[in-house]
Structure 1
Amino acid sequence: MSEKQISTTALAKELGLQAKHLFQSLTDAGCILRENEAWVLTNKGVEMGETMKSHPQHGTYIAWDGKIKEYLSEIGGSDKLLSAITLSKHFNISKFRINPILSELGMVQKNVKGWTVTKLGESLGGKQFEYEQTGVPYVCWDSSILTNKRLLETFQSVQGTPAEDIKEDKLPSSSNFRDKFEAKHRAADGHYVRSRAEMLIDNWLYMSEIVHAYERRLPVEEEIYCDFYLPVGKVYIEFWGLENDERYAERKKEKIKVYSKYGFNLIELVDSDIQNLDDLLPKKLLKFGIQAY
């Protein structure tokens, strides 16, 4: 008995792919082509044993058997791009949480409808698409995203199995920074920070009811930490407090390069800004769509 043949849409569902991506993979492989607003088999597709079938409601369509899955696997088409739904199945996380998690990591951003890839997301293999009928944007990913260290750590934390913390920045000039400056200043929200200036910044954010994280690791390959991170607006705040220290200056230079490389939203503060936070921070935050008062 021959194996049951299925439509391209059904095949895409079995493979965990967007139908649009599967059509593109099959086109790239030379199995089908678009002709008179319809998909038809090429000679290569016919030689592979695929057929055209008719349905009383859906009209003529291409029918595939199990051999196409093996072929797609060989050419890399079946796992070329992964949708958010595919990621949710792989990591056993609700499909409704995938894009918000990717957004928190700076890989995608929310559009009026749908999601768009960021500069960081593009560097990690994210590809931008939109649904043909609605125009709603969405992002799919290269299979390499499945081994991304920061993504894996985040999913582990979401599922209640935190990854092992990395204790130090790996920038060449910061190896002893976190040990040298102990986090002993307690801010109003309970955060322990490393200087009085950082405590004043933390207190200002807390009293302004702006959700923030302290010393959050950046979601990039380089293992570095920001001073503060604001999930709303995806904004990072860096306080540069040791401008006259040569090693610190080198560390600052390297960190700024990373922020620029990935297009992250960055607010920079120095000692002279600390006594004027009420005037400076609202203006700086407003540039990223965050209203302080």
Structure 2
Amino acid sequence: MSDKSHPLSTSALAKTLDKTTKQMFTELESLGWIKRVDDSWLLTSKGEFEGGTYRESAKFGRYIIWPSETVTHRALVSVDSHLLSFDYLATQLLLSDRTIVLLLQELGWIKAGRKGWLLTALGEAAGGFQRENRSTGIPYIMWREDVLDNSILTARVTSFQQGSEGKNDYLCCDGHNVTCEAERKIDNWLYLSGLLHAYRTGLPCEGDLDADFYLPQHQLYIEYWGKETPKSMLSAKIEKKEKFIKMGVDLIELNDEEVANLDEALPRMLLKYNIEV
């Protein structure tokens, strides 16, 4: 590969091959052409052999470029080039990277290894392929394109995204019926994160009050305060808050902004109580 008259950045290479930039970096790392060092991508000797070089930019700093004919390299247009990564599935299904992984785990299609993810028999039947990073040995999984049309997956995603609305309730993935969309998002997040939780469990105090969510293994309460809170429950919530203060229990309070960003907000809040997800 000597013609470098029209070199491509990795993002441009990805676009030409109809892949996401993240997917492209993952593939190049798997092939052993690049490696991650601190916060930068560096060429390996194999990557240099394949024609990769560096370019300096006042705006972007140093980045890797590839010869134009790299787009026809058999390693990049092999069968794996038509397979989908976790992040691509997440993008297509309008989910976060973390959520798609947890949903696939809940379906029993994948399971956590010591490092990386392992494919199960159910996952293989659904169109998954086990792969391994050539430089690190870390296992990962790619998927056939038709997995996006899998009725089991689409039904589960629909259940997660929309739930099942009844007269005054929203059905969660674990069967809990909650009273609003925000509570459904919180419940689904706790369930997929593997956190045992109760919904509307009574508070251990005088009076007829219950908690939005309670994590019994950690003796931690979670309360939602936001625009979706029914007006009929506001006075009870204020009373509950006073009870929480008097009891001196551990409490996490979520507002609408935090509910919209649970993947970022809740792990940070839980970590204050030594709960890692």
TM-score between both structures, scaled by the size of structure 1: 0.39
**TM-score (norm: length of structure 2):** 0.41
| Bigger-Rg structure (1/2) | 1
